[in-house]
Amino acid sequence: MFKHCVIGLAGTSLTAQESIWLKEKTPQGVILFARNVASAEQVQALLAEVRHIAGQHIWAAIDEEGGRVHRMPWSPFHQRMQADDFGMLYNKTPEKALKMVFEDALRAGNALKALGFTHNCAPVLDIFYPQAHPIIGNRAYASDTASIAALGKACMLGLQQAGIEAIGKHFPGHGRADADSHVAMPVVDADLATILDEAASFAELFQAGLKHVMTAHVRYPKADAEVATFSPFWLQDILKDKLGFQGQVWSDDLCMKGCGMDVPTAALAAKDAGCDVLLVCEPEGVAALMAGGT
Protein backbone atom coordinates (compact mmCIF):
# COMPACT_ATOMS: atom_id res chain seq x y z
CA MET A 1 0.00 0.00 0.00
CA PHE A 2 2.71 2.51 1.00
CA LYS A 3 4.47 2.29 -2.36
CA HIS A 4 1.31 3.70 -3.99
CA CYS A 5 1.12 6.73 -1.65
CA VAL A 6 2.16 10.34 -2.10
CA ILE A 7 2.38 11.71 1.44
CA GLY A 8 2.37 15.12 3.05
CA LEU A 9 5.07 16.17 5.48
CA ALA A 10 4.66 18.01 8.76
CA GLY A 11 7.03 20.94 8.41
CA THR A 12 10.01 22.56 6.72
CA SER A 13 12.35 19.66 7.53
CA LEU A 14 11.80 15.97 8.07
CA THR A 15 10.85 14.65 11.48
CA ALA A 16 12.67 11.61 12.82
CA GLN A 17 9.52 9.55 12.26
CA GLU A 18 9.15 10.73 8.67
CA SER A 19 12.75 9.75 7.98
CA ILE A 20 12.01 6.24 9.25
CA TRP A 21 8.87 5.98 7.11
CA LEU A 22 10.70 7.20 4.01
CA LYS A 23 13.43 4.60 4.53
CA GLU A 24 11.41 1.62 5.71
CA LYS A 25 8.02 2.18 4.02
CA THR A 26 9.12 4.18 0.99
CA PRO A 27 6.13 5.85 -0.65
CA GLN A 28 5.71 6.78 -4.31
CA GLY A 29 6.33 10.39 -3.44
CA VAL A 30 5.82 13.40 -1.21
CA ILE A 31 3.68 16.50 -1.68
CA LEU A 32 4.50 19.90 -0.22
CA PHE A 33 2.17 22.62 1.06
CA ALA A 34 2.65 26.10 2.47
CA ARG A 35 3.52 24.60 5.86
CA ASN A 36 6.56 22.97 4.21
CA VAL A 37 7.83 26.14 2.57
CA ALA A 38 10.12 28.83 4.00
CA SER A 39 12.47 29.67 1.13
CA ALA A 40 13.68 28.30 -2.18
CA GLU A 41 16.89 27.05 -0.55
CA GLN A 42 14.95 25.32 2.21
CA VAL A 43 12.61 23.58 -0.29
CA GLN A 44 15.60 22.36 -2.29
CA ALA A 45 17.23 21.08 0.90
CA LEU A 46 14.04 19.34 2.07
CA LEU A 47 13.54 17.51 -1.22
CA ALA A 48 17.23 16.61 -1.36
CA GLU A 49 16.92 15.14 2.15
CA VAL A 50 13.84 13.15 1.09
CA ARG A 51 15.74 11.69 -1.88
CA HIS A 52 18.86 10.96 0.15
CA ILE A 53 16.75 8.74 2.40
CA ALA A 54 14.14 7.34 0.00
CA GLY A 55 16.05 7.26 -3.29
CA GLN A 56 16.38 9.54 -6.30
CA HIS A 57 13.32 8.01 -7.97
CA ILE A 58 10.83 9.41 -5.47
CA TRP A 59 8.26 11.89 -6.79
CA ALA A 60 7.81 15.40 -5.40
CA ALA A 61 4.46 17.07 -6.08
CA ILE A 62 2.85 20.41 -5.26
CA ASP A 63 -0.31 22.42 -6.01
CA GLU A 64 0.86 25.37 -8.08
CA GLU A 65 -2.20 26.16 -10.18
CA GLY A 66 -1.50 29.88 -10.19
CA GLY A 67 -3.90 32.52 -8.94
CA ARG A 68 -5.38 31.78 -5.54
CA VAL A 69 -3.94 28.25 -5.30
CA HIS A 70 -0.20 28.56 -4.80
CA ARG A 71 2.15 27.39 -2.05
CA MET A 72 5.33 29.39 -2.56
CA PRO A 73 5.13 33.16 -1.96
CA TRP A 74 7.82 34.25 -4.40
CA SER A 75 8.26 34.70 -8.14
CA PRO A 76 7.15 33.20 -10.45
CA PHE A 77 4.50 31.53 -8.30
CA HIS A 78 2.77 34.25 -6.29
CA GLN A 79 1.77 36.67 -9.06
CA ARG A 80 0.48 34.32 -11.74
CA MET A 81 -2.86 35.03 -13.43
CA GLN A 82 -6.01 33.28 -12.29
CA ALA A 83 -7.39 30.61 -14.64
CA ASP A 84 -10.61 32.47 -15.42
CA ASP A 85 -8.60 35.56 -16.41
CA PHE A 86 -6.94 33.44 -19.07
CA GLY A 87 -10.40 32.20 -20.04
CA MET A 88 -11.74 35.72 -20.51
CA LEU A 89 -8.69 36.64 -22.58
CA TYR A 90 -9.22 33.49 -24.67
CA ASN A 91 -12.70 34.71 -25.57
CA LYS A 92 -11.18 37.88 -27.07
CA THR A 93 -7.80 36.81 -28.43
CA PRO A 94 -7.43 33.03 -28.27
CA GLU A 95 -3.94 32.80 -29.75
CA LYS A 96 -2.58 35.33 -27.27
CA ALA A 97 -4.25 33.52 -24.36
CA LEU A 98 -2.85 30.14 -25.37
CA LYS A 99 0.64 31.60 -25.73
CA MET A 100 0.40 33.26 -22.33
CA VAL A 101 -0.83 30.09 -20.60
CA PHE A 102 1.96 28.04 -22.17
CA GLU A 103 4.64 30.56 -21.22
CA ASP A 104 3.24 30.94 -17.70
CA ALA A 105 3.25 27.16 -17.17
CA LEU A 106 6.74 26.86 -18.67
CA ARG A 107 8.11 29.53 -16.30
CA ALA A 108 6.47 27.89 -13.30
CA GLY A 109 7.58 24.45 -14.47
CA ASN A 110 11.20 25.51 -14.88
CA ALA A 111 11.16 26.99 -11.39
CA LEU A 112 9.57 23.83 -9.96
CA LYS A 113 12.14 21.65 -11.69
CA ALA A 114 14.99 23.72 -10.26
CA LEU A 115 13.58 23.21 -6.76
CA GLY A 116 13.40 19.44 -7.19
CA PHE A 117 9.73 18.87 -8.04
CA THR A 118 8.52 16.28 -10.53
CA HIS A 119 4.72 16.77 -10.59
CA ASN A 120 2.30 19.70 -10.40
CA CYS A 121 -1.40 19.28 -9.55
CA ALA A 122 -2.60 21.32 -12.53
CA PRO A 123 -4.38 22.13 -14.79
CA VAL A 124 -7.88 22.35 -13.37
CA LEU A 125 -10.18 20.87 -16.04
CA ASP A 126 -13.45 21.45 -14.19
CA ILE A 127 -16.12 23.69 -15.69
CA PHE A 128 -17.14 26.99 -14.15
CA TYR A 129 -20.72 26.65 -12.95
CA PRO A 130 -21.99 29.85 -11.29
CA GLN A 131 -24.65 28.18 -9.15
CA ALA A 132 -22.14 25.79 -7.56
CA HIS A 133 -20.02 26.07 -4.43
CA PRO A 134 -17.15 28.53 -5.09
CA ILE A 135 -14.37 26.06 -4.18
CA ILE A 136 -13.66 25.74 -7.92
CA GLY A 137 -15.04 29.06 -9.16
CA ASN A 138 -12.31 31.15 -10.77
CA ARG A 139 -9.88 28.22 -10.66
CA ALA A 140 -11.76 26.99 -13.76
CA TYR A 141 -10.74 28.38 -17.12
CA ALA A 142 -14.25 28.65 -18.50
CA SER A 143 -17.80 27.30 -18.58
CA ASP A 144 -17.34 25.45 -21.89
CA THR A 145 -15.20 22.38 -22.46
CA ALA A 146 -13.64 23.57 -25.73
CA SER A 147 -12.02 26.56 -24.01
CA ILE A 148 -11.01 24.48 -20.99
CA ALA A 149 -9.41 21.82 -23.19
CA ALA A 150 -7.46 24.35 -25.25
CA LEU A 151 -6.16 26.28 -22.24
CA GLY A 152 -5.59 23.14 -20.18
CA LYS A 153 -3.56 21.63 -23.00
CA ALA A 154 -1.40 24.77 -23.20
CA CYS A 155 -0.75 24.52 -19.46
CA MET A 156 0.07 20.81 -19.69
CA LEU A 157 2.48 21.34 -22.58
CA GLY A 158 4.27 24.18 -20.80
CA LEU A 159 4.78 22.05 -17.69
CA GLN A 160 5.88 19.06 -19.73
CA GLN A 161 8.42 21.10 -21.69
CA ALA A 162 9.94 22.08 -18.34
CA GLY A 163 10.14 18.43 -17.31
CA ILE A 164 7.20 18.56 -14.90
CA GLU A 165 4.32 16.08 -15.13
CA ALA A 166 0.89 17.73 -15.18
CA ILE A 167 -1.96 16.25 -13.14
CA GLY A 168 -5.37 17.18 -14.56
CA LYS A 169 -8.18 17.49 -12.03
CA HIS A 170 -10.84 16.65 -10.79
CA PHE A 171 -12.32 13.75 -12.78
CA PRO A 172 -15.16 13.46 -13.77
CA GLY A 173 -15.79 17.08 -12.75
CA HIS A 174 -16.01 19.17 -9.58
CA GLY A 175 -17.41 22.33 -11.15
CA ARG A 176 -21.09 21.64 -10.41
CA ALA A 177 -20.47 20.41 -6.85
CA ASP A 178 -22.60 21.84 -4.06
CA ALA A 179 -19.91 21.73 -1.34
CA ASP A 180 -16.17 21.93 -0.70
CA SER A 181 -14.92 18.35 -0.52
CA HIS A 182 -12.29 19.40 2.02
CA VAL A 183 -15.04 19.76 4.61
CA ALA A 184 -18.10 17.86 3.30
CA MET A 185 -19.18 15.27 0.74
CA PRO A 186 -20.33 17.17 -2.36
CA VAL A 187 -23.07 16.01 -4.71
CA VAL A 188 -23.56 16.78 -8.39
CA ASP A 189 -27.20 16.38 -9.30
CA ALA A 190 -26.74 15.87 -13.05
CA ASP A 191 -27.36 12.89 -15.26
CA LEU A 192 -24.65 10.76 -16.80
CA ALA A 193 -24.90 12.34 -20.24
CA THR A 194 -24.38 15.84 -18.81
CA ILE A 195 -21.43 14.75 -16.68
CA LEU A 196 -19.77 13.05 -19.64
CA ASP A 197 -20.35 16.09 -21.86
CA GLU A 198 -18.68 18.28 -19.25
CA ALA A 199 -15.79 15.81 -18.89
CA ALA A 200 -14.88 16.21 -22.57
CA SER A 201 -11.89 18.39 -21.67
CA PHE A 202 -10.37 15.44 -19.79
CA ALA A 203 -10.78 13.19 -22.82
CA GLU A 204 -9.15 15.77 -25.09
CA LEU A 205 -6.13 16.10 -22.82
CA PHE A 206 -5.77 12.33 -22.61
CA GLN A 207 -5.45 12.32 -26.39
CA ALA A 208 -2.91 15.15 -26.16
CA GLY A 209 -0.67 13.23 -23.77
CA LEU A 210 -1.88 13.85 -20.21
CA LYS A 211 -0.37 11.06 -18.11
CA HIS A 212 -1.87 11.83 -14.70
CA VAL A 213 -5.43 12.60 -13.62
CA MET A 214 -6.87 13.29 -10.15
CA THR A 215 -10.27 12.11 -8.99
CA ALA A 216 -13.08 14.16 -7.49
CA HIS A 217 -14.38 13.39 -4.00
CA VAL A 218 -17.89 13.94 -5.35
CA ARG A 219 -21.03 11.80 -5.60
CA TYR A 220 -23.03 11.73 -8.83
CA PRO A 221 -26.10 9.81 -7.65
CA LYS A 222 -27.89 9.81 -11.01
CA ALA A 223 -24.94 7.87 -12.46
CA ASP A 224 -23.46 5.85 -9.57
CA ALA A 225 -23.89 5.62 -5.80
CA GLU A 226 -20.20 5.85 -4.89
CA VAL A 227 -17.97 8.89 -4.54
CA ALA A 228 -15.93 8.97 -7.78
CA THR A 229 -12.63 8.27 -5.98
CA PHE A 230 -14.05 4.97 -4.73
CA SER A 231 -16.11 4.08 -7.79
CA PRO A 232 -15.11 1.29 -10.19
CA PHE A 233 -17.83 2.66 -12.48
CA TRP A 234 -16.11 6.03 -12.82
CA LEU A 235 -12.49 4.88 -12.69
CA GLN A 236 -12.73 1.60 -14.62
CA ASP A 237 -15.84 1.68 -16.81
CA ILE A 238 -15.71 5.36 -17.75
CA LEU A 239 -12.15 6.66 -17.26
CA LYS A 240 -10.18 3.65 -18.42
CA ASP A 241 -12.57 1.67 -20.64
CA LYS A 242 -14.74 4.35 -22.25
CA LEU A 243 -12.26 7.24 -22.39
CA GLY A 244 -9.18 5.05 -22.84
CA PHE A 245 -7.03 6.66 -20.15
CA GLN A 246 -3.87 4.59 -19.65
CA GLY A 247 -1.91 6.81 -17.28
CA GLN A 248 -1.77 7.18 -13.51
CA VAL A 249 -5.01 7.81 -11.61
CA TRP A 250 -4.45 9.88 -8.46
CA SER A 251 -6.96 10.02 -5.65
CA ASP A 252 -7.61 13.47 -4.31
CA ASP A 253 -6.43 13.85 -0.71
CA LEU A 254 -7.79 10.93 1.31
CA CYS A 255 -7.76 13.07 4.46
CA MET A 256 -10.57 15.25 3.10
CA LYS A 257 -14.03 15.01 4.65
CA GLY A 258 -15.50 14.34 1.22
CA CYS A 259 -14.16 10.79 1.47
CA GLY A 260 -16.64 9.92 4.19
CA MET A 261 -14.30 7.39 5.81
CA ASP A 262 -11.02 7.12 7.74
CA VAL A 263 -7.73 7.27 5.84
CA PRO A 264 -6.70 3.57 5.96
CA THR A 265 -10.18 2.50 4.81
CA ALA A 266 -10.22 5.19 2.13
CA ALA A 267 -6.81 4.12 0.83
CA LEU A 268 -7.92 0.51 0.39
CA ALA A 269 -11.20 1.56 -1.23
CA ALA A 270 -9.50 3.97 -3.64
CA LYS A 271 -6.91 1.40 -4.68
CA ASP A 272 -9.59 -1.27 -5.18
CA ALA A 273 -11.64 1.15 -7.32
CA GLY A 274 -8.75 1.87 -9.67
CA CYS A 275 -6.54 4.58 -8.15
CA ASP A 276 -2.86 4.03 -8.87
CA VAL A 277 -1.63 6.84 -6.62
CA LEU A 278 -3.05 7.46 -3.15
CA LEU A 279 -2.73 11.04 -1.99
CA VAL A 280 -2.51 11.44 1.82
CA CYS A 281 -1.71 15.05 2.59
CA GLU A 282 -2.19 15.67 6.32
CA PRO A 283 0.38 14.44 8.87
CA GLU A 284 -2.35 12.87 11.01
CA GLY A 285 -3.62 10.92 8.02
CA VAL A 286 -0.12 9.76 7.12
CA ALA A 287 0.40 8.54 10.68
CA ALA A 288 -2.93 6.67 10.61
CA LEU A 289 -2.03 5.02 7.31
CA MET A 290 1.43 4.01 8.49
CA ALA A 291 0.01 2.64 11.74
CA GLY A 292 -2.38 0.47 9.76
CA GLY A 293 0.51 -1.65 8.55
CA THR A 294 -1.01 -2.54 5.16
Catalytic residue (choose from 84, 104, 126, 252):
252
Mark whether 252 is an active-site residue.
yes
Closest to 108 (Cα-Cα) out of 77, 78, 72: 77
137 phi-psi bin (left φ>0, alpha ψ -120 to 50, beta other): left
The per-residue b/e assignment along 115-133, b for 16 or more CB within 10 angstroms, e otherwise, is bbbbbbbbbbbbbbbeebb
Mark whether 217 is an active-site residue.
no
Catalytic residue (choose from 182, 237, 262, 276):
182
Residues with a known catalytic role: 182, 252
